[in-house]
Amino acid sequence: MISFTNSTRIKLMLFVCTFLIFVYCTYGQKLKQPNILLIMLDDVSPEQFSCYGVDGWGYTPNVDKLASNGVMFKTCYASAMCAPSRVEIMTGEYGVSTGVLQNGIWIGDSRDNVYKNHQAFGKLLKNAGYATAIAGKWHAGTTMPYEESVGFDEYCLWEGLKEIKALPESPKFTGQLEDEKTTSRYWHPGIIKNHKLLDTKPTDYGPDIFADFIMDFMDRKTKEGKPFLAYWPSVAPHGTRIGAPSTPHRGEVGDLGPAKNSEDGRERFIALNEYMDFLMGKVMKKIKDLEIVENTIVIFTSDNGTAVTAKTRGVERGSHVVNIISGAGIKQRGATDELTDFSDIAPTLLEFAGAKLPEGKKFDGKSLVPFLTGKTDSHREWIHGYISTSQLIRTKNYMLEVVNPVLGMPKGRFYYTGTNRNQRGYEFVNDNPAHAKERKKFDKILEKLPALTIDHPFWKTKKGKKFFKQYTKPKSIEKHLYNHKDYRFYDEGQKTKVNK
């Protein structure tokens, strides 16, 4: 038996204490507050990532790798359009709570004051000690990300001529335009970085600039020893059919001009989505090179379904988005039938960060942390999607879509899905008494999510009248209430007529 003198015991205790303090200072705070990288692509449906199991939509090995190392949600709902989705992910609240229901429907003062009336995750994590940055596309209200109510320390954003003109000394934009008011998001783009207009060149490519900004931010904050939140709401692969630079997967695929026809547009869209996968691979390699893999959580999603075939539609495909979560503390693995929607993101970030929601504030969503970390094998019973005056509700075995009293669909379309996903194998059971009990559960849920009805004051405003006129045109109704002709995988019942 080894014996120690009192002096040796004291020295040994001091050494152990010093070592424990060193371990805590080096690793303890990091484990308590992991770095967070939140990536959101623009206008792209889940089937366009090969890990979701649909052939013909390109090659996305880096997204696939993220899915294999973490959790891939088969069914995640957002809104079917960018602004309401971007507000929902920031606030953890549905459009019925924030008043943001479509790019053209901002109820009350929501366009100007949504982040004064509701909490933004950027501000909450900044208050919890995080360094915060955003790069890409904002389009989530007139309040800018760097303002106090949103909470981002640094930013690098694609902006329009109006925002550029508002900068100090009103600099003149000399880059490429998408139209007479919109700067290019791709080649020779219009980008403002931390209150200064970037001097971009014809060979500069917007997605590259944003990825480089994210990597530089992560590099600097890692060296400073500060936990970071890097939010990367990408400008791509949005429906603007502009060619991407070459990728290892396809070679030369793009140029400075737009696509000439629909077939060319599809190919460029696939190529651009692959290029975003390529950039994501560079960012993931940066995390590896910084040796912070074990202390970083990566969330990968998209804001809504693909333009034309899904975006703005009140069907499931409009709101169905990719959602993959991997990284520090994530014990669940592989594809899951558990349900989630965008209202869950903000509470999840807060729990990972150890941040708290101010007293009197609420989320519509629920933190995913217990499920992701293996404390539970289930998450929630139902999820919600929405766009304009349509609502969707999903459980594991049933789906209710296009509940829309304004467009003559007050009951919507009710389906028994069983274990089927991705709009395949759904059974139309609107008036089937065998499923009436389950339908009543959906009606109870909708009582808490009041739809925008025809008698709402919004329709009497100038913007409301303009929106309603376009919204109730026969072609607009057809597009909103039904799937694109190439994606009619289930019975959609009889066509409806709207009573104005």
What is the structure's pLDDT at 282? 97
For residue 156, the surrounding DSSP H or E stretch is: strand 154-158
Q: Count H helices, E strands: the chain?
A: 16, 18
Beta strands in 247-322 (DSSP E): 296-302, 320-321
For residue 399, the surrounding DSSP H or E stretch is: strand 398-403
pLDDT tens digits, 224-276: 999 999 999 999 998 765 667 766 655 554 444 555 566 677 788 888 899 99
Q: Is pLDDT of 357 > 80?
A: yes
Which CATH number among 1.10.287.3510, 3.40.50.300, 3.40.109.10, 3.40.720.10 corresponds to the domain 33-373?
Answer: 3.40.720.10
Residue 193 structure tokens: 């970085």
pLDDT tens digits, 422-433: 999 999 999 999
Q: How many CB atoms lie within 10 A of CB 211?
A: 22
Whole-angstrom distance, CA of residue 217 vs CA of residue 188: 22
Q: Is pLDDT of 193 > 70?
A: yes
Q: Where are the domains of the chain?
A: 33-373, 388-487
pLDDT tens digits, 29-38: 444 799 999 9
C-alpha distances out from residue 191 to 138, 249, 403, 453, 480, Å: 12, 28, 39, 39, 33
Q: Is pLDDT of 481 > 60?
A: yes
Report residue 458's pLDDT band, with 50, 70 and 90 as the boundaries.
very high
Q: Is pLDDT of 28 > 60?
A: no
Whole-angstrom distance, CA of residue 89 vs CA of residue 365: 10
What is the structure's pLDDT at 270? 86
Work out the percent of the chain whose per-residue pLDDT is above 70. Answer: 88
What is the structure's pLDDT at 488? 96
What is the structure's pLDDT at 248? 62
Residue 245: alpha-carbon gap to chain centroid: 24
What is the structure's pLDDT at 301? 98
What is the structure's pLDDT at 15? 57
What is the structure's pLDDT at 451? 87
What is the structure's pLDDT at 29? 44
Place of tokens 């039904």: 482
